[in-house]
A and B are shown apart, each in its own frame.
Chain A
């Protein structure tokens, strides 16, 4: 018992009084303005659907997983969304392992309400077989460090994880079209969830002095505050949820003022989430392109990714020399089969060799390879040649016309010699 007493976090009277008196003059202890958010950074994990959010010192991790289940009776063609929170004892001395405390339940409920009742995630698209099988999306929120304002950070983590989550594609098959086949990610590209809008939670803390309120309270400010309110809204101007559980009474004018502030904050956070998610998606797409086997005419937007892809592929082809005969044959077969397929779907057996070289080629794309590696080539022509794959081919150079980096022209003379 005494051990627990020794480990509890305590606040001094001096600190409490100082925080309140500084707020009277509009100063916050960490130097922020009254309506400022702390620095928000979102990092994604290796797998789709995992995000870690740092809001100042607060850290929350969100992980999204999916499972095929039977739908609820009263909603036979809608998927389900459920949120689980885990308050790790390493986040705060007052968090105990085991049953979630009152605050944990409240946090889960606020986020759940913001997502589900505003219909941010489209649940009807999650239906596979009406009345029999639907996708159940499960969001796990792990609190890693409690630096104050867990609700906002956890909400951003949930949204970021949902935005980058990909669920497996499934199709109906079997005799009477009643069997559901779930395609592995290697066979068919997993699909993202349909998210209509991003409901952002903004938390306000009220203090005993009527006119003082702050946005995004820290741990110390939370210990001193007299009441708290969370408003969840999106950039379209809809208010998805408001939570004010207990605490000091607040006049109506203050609530309206808070909602106006929350609208501007929500816009900032939405932009931030969208930008990081887009950066992640671009990086993910590039990763997929790198692993691509052969230079099929890919429908990737923009010429620059094309250039990079060509360079990469030609690097691969140049380096993959010698005992690649069988692989080349497979390449040829694969290409013939998949020439018309979607760009990013394919991952074949020879890909692992590309992957290994992939990292090297990424780095070396910048250095124009002396053999004019950026030349485009059709897979068939080098495949039909000997196992020693030269970087130059006689095939048509479809994309070369579109993309003409300078070094290619210079190296044309020596490269022609190398062609075999």
Chain B
């Protein structure tokens, strides 16, 4: 009983379901992610979706929507809306605009504040996310290094649902990307907030990959592979 994960794992849950009874489990630390709430001894569901569990002790609820709810340590793609004295205002498809401190870059000082025009696409990490306040982003990882964060140049960006972007980031690699990767070479950045950026040498490659990704949300792995193979046959 002690180490058994909840019987709801990987099953759809709706708000109000009680998934864990803490009084029955002793001496355990459970980490609760998005969509779950602790009510004294019970862990109840707040958001409709699938309950997920990752060893050793993390539970969260996953669902696919157009709108993104900011969560700490998520990597997102944001669009710069405005520049203020202290922060950049960045749109991450959430309920509120996010703040990106002007110094939150590798080696960032008051002297070398980057200049982003309106509409710049940034790859950033959510540093702070509390309900009711504007989330805060950062373009460095926890240790202060750049680690691929920052503005993205060229390429094409489009929007999708949060479920699709999670699928693109899953490991093992998502079937669509794997099949394309066998024949074409391209770069891709997926934000958990439902934005994807694709870059390739030729525009036709970019267009094919983007459209295939957009269509692959409701397809199973096998169907995705078939679709990609058909597309590749057509363009080659």
Are B152 and A14 within 8 A (Cβ)? yes
Among A26-34, A231-239, A328-336, A391-399, the stretch in contact with B: A26-34
Decide if A17 is an interface residue (CB 8 Å cutoff). Answer: yes
Decide if A304 is an interface residue (CB 8 Å cutoff). Answer: no
Decide if B228 is an interface residue (CB 8 Å cutoff). Answer: no
B64 to chain A: closest CB distance in Å?
A: 19
Are B157 and A5 within 8 A (Cβ)? no
A-facing residues in B176-220 (Cβ within 8 Å): 197, 203-204, 206-208, 210-211
Are B157 and A14 within 8 A (Cβ)? yes
B45 to chain A: closest CB distance in Å?
A: 26
Number of interface residues of B (CB under 8 A): 27
Are A11 and B211 within 8 A (Cβ)? no
A212 to chain B: closest CB distance in Å?
A: 13
Select one of B89, B157, B204 contacting A15, CB under 8 A. B157
A193 to chain B: closest CB distance in Å?
A: 41
Decide if B101 is an interface residue (CB 8 Å cutoff). Answer: no
Are A31 and B211 within 8 A (Cβ)? yes
Are A27 and B203 within 8 A (Cβ)? yes
Q: A17-B154, A27-B204, A27-B207 are in contact. Are A10 and B121 (CB under 8 A)?
A: no
B-facing residues in A1-24 (Cβ within 8 Å): 2-3, 5-6, 8, 10-18, 21-22
Instruction: Write the B135-161 contact mask toward A (1 if CB under 8 angstroms, else 0).
Output: 000000000000000001111111000
Decide if A323 is an interface residue (CB 8 Å cutoff). Answer: no
Decide if A301 is an interface residue (CB 8 Å cutoff). Answer: no
Query: How distant is the Cα of A31 from the Cα of B210 in the complex, in angstroms?
Result: 10
Decide if B62 is an interface residue (CB 8 Å cutoff). Answer: no
B114 to chain A: closest CB distance in Å?
A: 14
Decide if A366 is an interface residue (CB 8 Å cutoff). Answer: no
Are A14 and B156 within 8 A (Cβ)? yes
B180 to chain A: closest CB distance in Å?
A: 15
Are B121 and A12 within 8 A (Cβ)? yes
Number of interface residues of A (CB under 8 A): 22
Decide if A340 is an interface residue (CB 8 Å cutoff). Answer: no
Chain A residues with CB under 8 Å of B119's CB are: 10-13, 16
Decide if B117 is an interface residue (CB 8 Å cutoff). Answer: yes
Q: A22-B203, A29-B207 are in contact. Are A13 and B117 (CB under 8 A)?
A: yes
Chain B residues with CB under 8 Å of A13's CB are: 117, 119-121
Select one of B96, B120, B207, B210 contacting A2, CB under 8 A. B96
Query: How distant is the Cα of A16 from the Cα of B118 in the complex, in angstroms?
Result: 12
Decide if B79 is an interface residue (CB 8 Å cutoff). Answer: yes
Are A18 and B206 within 8 A (Cβ)? yes
B-facing residues in A84-114 (Cβ within 8 Å): none
Are A10 and B91 within 8 A (Cβ)? yes
Chain B residues with CB under 8 Å of A2's CB are: 96-97
Query: How distant is the Cα of A30 from the Cα of B213 in the complex, in angstroms?
Result: 12
Select one of A3, A25, A29 contacting B210, CB under 8 A. A29
Are A14 and B95 within 8 A (Cβ)? no
Query: How distant is the Cα of A2 from the Cα of B81 in the complex, in angstroms?
Result: 11
A-facing residues in B14-67 (Cβ within 8 Å): none
A-facing residues in B90-134 (Cβ within 8 Å): 91, 94-97, 117, 119-121
Chain A residues with CB under 8 Å of B153's CB are: 14
Are B79 and A22 within 8 A (Cβ)? no
Are B156 and A29 within 8 A (Cβ)? yes
Query: How distant is the Cα of A22 from the Cα of B207 in the complex, in angstroms?
Result: 9
A379 to chain B: closest CB distance in Å?
A: 54
Chain A residues with CB under 8 Å of B211's CB are: 30-31
A to B CB contacts below 8 Å, 5 in the list: A6-B95, A14-B197, A18-B156, A27-B203, A29-B207
Q: Could you list 12 further interchain pairs (A-B, Cβ under 8 angstroms) beyond the known A5-B91, A15-B156, A27-B207?
A: A3-B96, A10-B79, A10-B91, A10-B119, A12-B120, A12-B121, A13-B121, A14-B156, A18-B155, A22-B203, A25-B204, A27-B204
A residues apposed to B, CB below 8 Å: 2-3, 5-6, 8, 10-18, 21-22, 25, 27-31
